[in-house]
Amino acid sequence: MSKIAITSFASISPLGNSASQIWENYKKEEPCFSEQFLDGSPTIVGSLDENSVNLIEEIRQSDSNYKEVDPSVLYALYVSRLAVKKAGWHSGHDFGINIGSSRGATFLFEKYFKSYLESGKAQTLASPTTTLGNISSWIAHDLQTNGPEISHSITCSTALHALLNGVAWLRSRMANRFLVGGSEAPLTDFTIAQMRALKIYSRASLQEKFPNQALDLNKNVNTMILGEGAAVCCLESGTPENAIAYIEEVGYATEILEHNISISAEATCFQKSMKMALKNTPIEAVDVVVMHAPGTIKGDLTEYKAIQKIFGSSLPLLTSNKWKIGHTFGASGLLSLEFALLMLQNNEFIGVPFLEQIQTKPIQTILVNAVGFGGNAVSVLLTKA
């Protein structure tokens, strides 16, 4: 089976918007959170930095077509342009696009629905700017590609499901190149209120050193914090000279539902997805697992138990980026994959403040996990180019 190469990646998130800035922020010991007034009260969120906000606003003002689109579209536009440029693709290259979102056009949907409740009338652009296919359609328009463009929402595993789709298209030889990822702009009143209603949102303040305690397996409160951002990567068949990493294998599985948001006590879905991704690889070869680990009590612990089941005494180094930037819903899987790529490129493990772990060998192989509400798990096995 032909190799699948990652030839570039790009993101925008609370960590910044350039690979060097993002890596430097990962190495710092403090999280990238800020405080906003949402639903009338101060709320900790993972929001874009000022420079990133200005870059997004430049895109919005650059074209009259972009003035009325959702921030999630603009985030995806920025990272897609950057990734395609890095990969050396251009409009003459026909490539597929699959960029998904958990919530879609969150900001605009809430804005238009509020207007409808107040006036009894829907605004003209309410439908076309809030459809689920909105993101990939705009990217295809912006990049002028003739390849297939796909959108979907598989909750918090959306971005890694986009990667699964890209791998499937490439392996089937129905495409030679695919741009995959996720985008999310969920820092709105109603979205925050929904997370609070589930009793999973952090009640911490910025005065606390670590408001999100992802992978603190001894915590007794839920500490999930929402973040915003987008991430994409360029996939190509074969072994191109500009490959930065390879996707060795992918895995996926879905839980048998017991509750709308829960997974089983030992995360059966993760066990299945990890086994599938590791079917041709000895478990001892895995150096790091980038966990989904959103900072909730059950979410972190069940995934950890699943990893214990799979790896036993050969437990690799474990980490997550959500204590640093929060949970970016549909974009989170690709932001985790970017985190893995940066560790591969720099041969340096970045852990969490809650587990003492020491890197004892070069980092060559990393497993990346993501899961969505209801147990839609994905695992991706990466190796260094």
- Please report the pLDDT score of residue 265 as a whole number: 67
* pLDDT tens track for 343-371: 999 999 999 999 999 999 999 999 999 99
Q: How confident is the model at residue 262 (pLDDT cuts 50, 70, 90)?
A: low
pLDDT digits over 6-18, tens only? 999 999 999 999 9
| CATH number assigned to the domain with residue range 4-237, chosen from the 4 options 3.40.47.10, 2.60.120.620, 3.40.50.300, 3.40.50.720 | 3.40.47.10
- Indicate the class that CATH gives domain 248-384: alpha beta
Q: Is-same-fold flag (4-237; 248-384)? A: yes
pLDDT in tens, 323-342: 999 999 999 999 999 999 99
257: pLDDT confidence band, cut at 50, 70 and 90? low
Secondary structure of the chain in the HEC alphabet?
CCCEEEEEEEEEECCECCHHHHHHHHHCCCCCCEEEEECCEEEEEECCCHHHHHHHHHHHHHCHHHCCCCHHHHHHHHHHHHHHHHHCCCCCCCCEEEEECCCCCHHHHHHHHHHHHHHCCCCCCCCCCCCCCHHHHHHHHHHCCCCCEECCCECECHHHHHHHHHHHHHHCCCCCEEEEEEEECCCCHHHHHHHHHCCCECCCCCCCCCCCCCCCCCCCCCCECEECEEEEEEEEECCCCCCCEEEEEEEEEECCCCCCCCCCCCCHHHHHHHHHHCCCCCHHHCCEEECCCCCCHHHHHHHHHHHHHHHCCCCCEEECCHHHHCECHHHHHHHHHHHHHHHHHHCCCCCCCCCCCCCCCCCCEEEEEEEECCCEEEEEEEEEC
Distance CA 58, CA 167 (A): 33
- Calculate mean pLDDT across residues 301-307: 95
pLDDT for position 91: 67
pTM over 0.85? The answer is yes
Rounded average pLDDT over 20-46: 93
- Under 8 Å between Cβ of 344 and 382: yes
Tokens of 45: 């969120």
- Say which range, 24-28, 126-130, 266-270, 361-365, has the weakest mean pLDDT: 266-270
Nearest to 95 by CA among 171, 6, 183, 170: 170
Rounded alpha-carbon distances, angstroms, from residue 307 to 37, 336, 354, 373: 38, 17, 17, 19
Domain parsing of the chain, residue ranges? 4-237, 248-384
User: Mean pLDDT of all residues in the chain?
Assistant: 94
CB atoms within 10 A of CB 140: 22
